[in-house]
Structure 1
Amino acid sequence: MMTRNFLTFDIEEWFHANYDGVDFSKYEGQSSNLEANVDRLIDICAAHDVKSTCFILGDVAKSKPQVIKKLFDAGHEIASHGMAHRLIYPMHPDEFRADIHISSDVLEQITGQKVVGFRAPSWSVKSETLPWFYEILADEGFLYSSSVYPAKHSLFGIPDFPRMPHYPLSQSVLEIPQSVMNLFGTSIGYAGGGFLRFFPAWLIKKEIEKENKRGRPVFIYLHPREIDIHQPRLELKGFDEFFHYQGISGCEEKLTGLIHAFEGSFLRMDEYAKKVQAEVPLI
């Protein structure tokens, strides 16, 4: 039986990020290559007959509804990434509920279809948010989340979190956590974002194959800016600047190579969550 994988995109502007001490509001309203980058991702998916899951910011949907309509019309899942890329763990539960309610409503008005998936900006679900995070998602009608980094990171992560998709606290909200590998005794991501851009394609492919042999699905994730060498640049310093921009020139080629390597295994996350909920064999 084939282990399923997921191709996911976080649809946000080039200035949507979370770094300490950086005022991102000053970049709002500046020129953007987002629509052209999304068009390119749609073409890549079409060339390989892959349907992705797209976690979309409500602010992006409000300012560029045509981009969301293009993704929806091409058969990609429209899921929520919150409203304005706010971290989850500083929020009060009522703030989080309002944020996902409003952002989902914006998306649903464009597509006419219920939003059932959520991804926290910057993997910002921590242990202290667990008592209310999944409960609120369930109340708002979500079927799944893809929000947890099951390892230690300076900004996020839950190191002892199970690495298989599972129901953490609710029998109605499935968590599909990020995949991590063991590197010199440290658990670290490899299949998306800065991790995917940094590690060589052969290593990423090997790790996905290892996880699939264990019966664990893996999701690849990218932001549209990560295939754009001509994007505007944030004023970052040191490691933040390196991590945010390294590997962009070869990212599209790496992405298409991985899609080709695992062609036929990709499933939209909403379809996977519905099959798991119904206990349908994932063939």
Structure 2
Amino acid sequence: MNTSKTILLTFDVEEWFHTTFMTDYIDPHLFSVSRVMENLGFVLDLLQEFDITATFFVLGSLAEKIPDLVPMILEHNSSHEIASHSYDHVLLYEQSPEDISMNVIRSREILQKQSGQEVGGFRAPYFSINDHAIEELAQNGYVYDSSLHDFRLNPQYGHLHVEMNATGSPGIFTYKNLFELTIPVKRYFNNRLALPFGGGGYYRLYPLLLQKYWIDSFLKTSDYFMMYLHPWEFDPDQPYVRSVPAIKRMRHYIGIRRHLDKTRSLVRSLAQKGYTFSTVSGYLNKSHGIALAASNK
């Protein structure tokens, strides 16, 4: 049994058309085709099946547009954590400092009002973090960020140049009063190669047996493993947009038809191995004594 090891399931709650490599090619009328509530239902039923909690990084604009979204999450399980995915699904490093500030503040206010929780977590759209954004998070009530992805071959991921301090936990750093939980990668060749496997299209691409092996291997040197998923990845019936270039189309749709069954098998396997499941705030409370309203549930 591995009860000392923790799995953090996180979900970036956005529409199927919010991915950055899809929006430029979608017919404008399709932006009205909302599928997030149905997709979210698949996720919540899966979590309920195994009686586990998760963290939901929700777009503030989506919560504002669909006021039943956040309550739906908490009605399934009041111990789920609500965190911010910014206000709009726009790359942070393409925004002005004023817009970044507005996004992190406005989204937190909306989500706190709808959830009744202290919203302390943030994840930038498409991991587009930058120095100004992390400064805004540190100054505006956030406790942790989970936007730093160390896969250097993806040019759209953001970077940080501020000085961060190690915490003693692999992949967790601090900047001022803010914790930074980095996205897991598998390292090879003395850290010269970092392969992403923590979620998204990478997880959908890799065989399940390899994913299980990498998670077990990662947990040999870490007391937690964090995955990031999207509700739209559980929806095989979402619109198929042929106007998207082939490579980008593959990145979006690959593995979607088997995604729910694959994730159910993975969660079952992790649970059978004795790993515990937690929200991000719950884990930080346990490991670093950082308490949020959601972390005690």
Structure 1 partner of 2:136? 136
- 1:233 and 1:59, CA in 2 relative to 1: closer, same or farther beyond 3 A? farther
Structure 2 partner of 1:78? 82
Q: What letter is aligned with 1:97?
A: S
- 1:123 and 1:218, CA in 2 relative to 1: closer, same or farther beyond 3 A? same
Give yes or no for contact 2:17–2:23 (8 Å, CA) kept in 1.
no
> How far 1:23 moved relative to its partner?
5.8
Matched residue SS, 1:15: helix
Matched, 1:251 2:259: yes
Structure 2 partner of 1:87? 91
State the percentage of identical aligned residues: 28
Q: What letter is aligned with 2:96?
A: H
Deviation track 1:196-249 (CA, whole Å, cap 9, x = no partner) reads 110001111111111111025221221111111100234411211111111101
Structure 2 partner of 1:164? 170
Task: Calculate the TM-score normalised by the size of structure 1.
Answer: 0.88
Q: What letter is aligned with 2:86?
A: G
Higher mean C-alpha displacement, 40-49 vs 30-39: 30-39
Give yes or no for contact 1:165–1:174 (8 Å, CA) kept in 2.
no
Q: What letter is aligned with 2:113?
A: Q
Higher strand share: 2
Matched residue SS, 1:9: strand
Matched residue SS, 1:10: strand
Unaligned runs of 5+ in 2: 292-297
- 1:205 and 1:84, CA in 2 relative to 1: closer, same or farther beyond 3 A? same
Give yes or no for contact 1:4–1:265 (8 Å, CA) kept in 2.
yes
Query: Partners of 1:140 and 1:180 in 2: how far apart?
Result: 29
Query: Partners of 2:278 and 2:23 in 1: how far apart?
Result: 38
Matched, 1:278 2:294: no
Structure 2 partner of 1:173? 178
Task: Calculate the TM-score normalised by the size of structure 2.
Answer: 0.85
Q: In the alignment, which of 113, 118, 137 is matched to residue 114 of structure 1?
A: 118
Matched, 1:230 2:237: yes
- 1:157 and 1:91, CA in 2 relative to 1: closer, same or farther beyond 3 A? closer
- 1:10 and 1:244, CA in 2 relative to 1: closer, same or farther beyond 3 A? same
> How far 1:140 moved relative to its partner?
1.0
Deviation track 1:57-105 (CA, whole Å, cap 9, x = no partner) reads 0111012121210112323111000111111112233321110111111
Give yes or no for contact 2:10–2:229 (8 Å, CA) kept in 1.
yes
Aligned length: 275
Give yes or no for contact 2:86–2:104 (8 Å, CA) kept in 1.
yes
> What does 1:4-43 align with in structure 2 at a 5 Å threshold?
4-19=6-21, 22=24, 26-27=28-29, 29-43=31-45
Q: What letter is aligned with 2:282?
A: E
Query: Partners of 1:99 and 1:159 in 2: how far apart?
Result: 19
- 1:83 and 1:164, CA in 2 relative to 1: closer, same or farther beyond 3 A? same
Q: What letter is aligned with 1:169?
A: Y
